[in-house]
A and B are shown apart, each in its own frame.
Chain A
């Protein structure tokens, strides 16, 4: 079964850090560009970051650049998002998704909730 499972979400105070993980199975993880997408409560989808299959190319949304770091371990079929200097506005469900070909995002994980609050 093709599957992505996120973990690592939780509650943190402003300025804190969290590391999200995404475990992939059922497809050739090492050949896919991977993305993180988030959705604030009651809001729309927001692209966060992507990393190419080999990990050599990385891009970030302006809203998270210099605070978040995306990485991957192809040997472990895993994607990561290190989130530092968290802000209240980073509160969201974070999804990982696989890019089959230029924004053909499939599959998606079920998401993990990150809550930043004092």
Chain B
């Protein structure tokens, strides 16, 4: 199972919106609405930001939103803030009943 494809890096200025893509196949991202997004600050454990494509857990800012079209899922961060600077990973359940992560995207706030 190949890793999902994410851009290595995305940057934006404070207050701007950015979108991170996560491209898979019809056997993973395209097959189910089971895509999650995680935020990871250096030296810290990952934290779930979005589950089931577009659902936000309690405690996660509504500046974070998720969507999916075909085999590509996306995470959008609006009103970018300095604290959003981190690594972001997508993950999907697959038709093989295993799970696969994306390679990760480093978000830089300029």
Contact = CB atoms under 8 A, between A and B. Distances in A.
B98 interface: yes
B45 A108 contact: yes
Contacts, number: 65
Contacts of B89: 44-45
A103 B93 contact: yes
Interface stretch (A8-16, A18-26, A79-87, A94-102): A94-102
Contacts of A102: 32, 34, 52, 93
B52 A47 contact: no
A75 to B, nearest CB: 26
A47 B98 CA distance: 9
Contacts of A103: 34-36, 51, 91-93, 99
Nearest to A43: B104
B51 A101 contact: yes
A37 B98 CA distance: 12
Interface residues of A, number: 23
A100 B50 CA distance: 13
B12 interface: no
A34 to B, nearest CB: 12
A109 B45 CA distance: 7
A111 B45 CA distance: 7
Contacts of B36: 103-105
A37 B104 CA distance: 14
A59 interface: yes
Nearest to B34: A102
B52 A104 contact: yes
In order of increasing CB-CB distance, the 3 nearest A-B pairs are A104-B51, A102-B34, A44-B104
Interface of B: 1, 3, 32, 34-36, 38, 40, 45-48, 51-52, 57, 87, 89, 91-93, 97-104
15 contacts: A37-B101, A44-B87, A45-B101, A95-B46, A97-B46, A100-B51, A102-B32, A103-B36, A103-B51, A103-B93, A104-B48, A105-B38, A105-B46, A105-B48, A106-B57
